[in-house]
Amino acid sequence: MATEISLEDLAREIAAGSYVLDVREDDEWAEGHVPNAVHIPLGQLEARIDEVEDGGRVFVICRSGVRSQKGADILFANGLDAVSVAGGTMGWIAAGNEVVKP
């Protein structure tokens, strides 16, 4: 089972250029996402797993932290170093962090 990190830790990882995977649905993504995130909805993740950057830790985020845990577990089960972001995008926004709109 994949572990979790805090939003504060994610902010440091984003600043360092780490890979962030957003597993929310298309309409949620369109509302805004964390900087530099890559978008693959959770329901498509297993079929598109080869699109996920391998070679470093993958930080998986969703709306609140539930789907990201599932996504991180899928990646972890497929040999990728993945962690879920506790609090998700809603927590990110509530903390006043930058949001990118496509």
Cα 78 from Cα 27, distance rounded (Å): 27
Domains, the chain: 3-94 (3.40.250.10)
User: What's residue 1's pLDDT?
Assistant: 79
> Tens of pLDDT along 31-57?
999 999 999 999 999 999 999 998 899
Cα 43 from Cα 53, distance rounded (Å): 18
Whether 62 is catalytic = yes
Whole-prediction pTM: 0.96
How would you write the pLDDT of the chain (102 residues) with one tens digit per residue? 789 999 999 999 999 999 999 999 999 999 999 999 999 999 999 999 999 998 899 999 999 989 999 999 999 999 999 999 999 999 999 999 999 997
User: What residue has token string 């909805």?
Assistant: 41
Which of 2, 5, 34, 62 is catalytic? The answer is 62
